[in-house]
């Protein structure tokens, strides 16, 4: 991939004995402990007033390193975009700091895609802050992550590569807010054209670059 810039990191931690599990009510205590740790690290997306794993309109996945819960990711039917029978949103992701760079999020993607298909969804997407240039370069397939001994690097799998930047969509949680996010979507049904009509979606051609002129036009 000649258009991919690879970051060179001299010290790479290799995490062994990593597994992914779909949440069941028997895991509730693990989630409660994890949400407290996530809050201490500054992530309130899993706060109890925002998320309940037993009642969420979707499903939760957990990545373990050895026997320790390292990461959580949630797939919720997309009420944000007004089409919960069509689209699912991957959200509420957190990985504990000591497990960063373990590719935990990538490891959950295949199960999340399969769940979406099994439950009749046509689109699966996530959003990300437009100001985070490093992660957006990764999500836009302009940059890779270091290889850590996987048989196929997760950023090169068909599952991950299927998530594409939507070059004319901007996600805004609140119509009155100025927090903008790019949209990365996997269209699960061939030929389906996803054009949600909701206040959270602003249609404006940006092609992965949002500067002050774009902000002025959409805010």
3-state secondary structure 184-209: EEEECCCCCCCCCCCCCEEECCCCCC
Predicted TM-score of the model (pTM):
0.89
- Quick: pLDDT tens for 172-205: 988 778 899 999 999 999 999 999 999 999 999 9
Cβ neighbours of residue 138 closer than 8 Å, sequence gap 6 or more:
144, 145, 155
- Quick: pLDDT tens for 85-142: 999 999 999 999 999 877 788 889 999 999 999 999 999 999 999 999 999 999 999 9
- Quick: pLDDT tens for 50-88: 999 999 999 999 999 888 999 999 999 999 999 999 999
Q: What is the DSSP letter of 36?
A: H
Cβ neighbours of residue 190 closer than 8 Å, sequence gap 6 or more:
none
Q: How many Cβ atoms from other residues are within 10 Å of residue 166's Cβ? A: 20
Residues 166, 168, 172: CA angle, nearest 5 degrees: 85
């Amino acid at each position: 991939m000649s258009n991919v810039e690879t970051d060179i990191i001299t010290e790479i931690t290799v995490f062994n004995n990593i597994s992914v599990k779909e949440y069941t009510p028997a895991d509730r205590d693990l989630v409660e402990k994890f949400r407290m740790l996530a809050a201490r690290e500054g992530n309130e997306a899993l706060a109890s007033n925002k998320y309940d794993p037993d009642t969420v309109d979707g499903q939760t996945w957990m990545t373990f390193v050895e026997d320790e819960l390292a990461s959580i990711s949630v797939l919720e039917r997309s009420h944000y975009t007004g089409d919960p029978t069509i689209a699912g949103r991957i959200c509420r992701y957190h990985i504990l700091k000591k497990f960063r760079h373990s590719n935990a999020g990538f490891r959950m993607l295949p199960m999340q895609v399969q769940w979406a298909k099994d439950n009749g969804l046509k689109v699966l997407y996530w959003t990300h802050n437009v100001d985070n240039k490093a992660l957006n370069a990764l999500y836009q397939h302009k940059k890779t992550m270091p290889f850590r001994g996987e048989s196929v690097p997760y950023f090169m799998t068909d599952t991950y590569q299927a998530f594409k930047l939507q070059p004319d969509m901007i996600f805004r949680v609140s119509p009155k807010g100025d927090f903008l996010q790019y949209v990365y979507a996997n269209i699960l049904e061939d030929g389906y054209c996803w054009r949600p009509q909701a206040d959270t979606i602003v249609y404006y051609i940006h092609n992965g670059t949002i500067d002050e002129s774009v902000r002025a036009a959409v805010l």
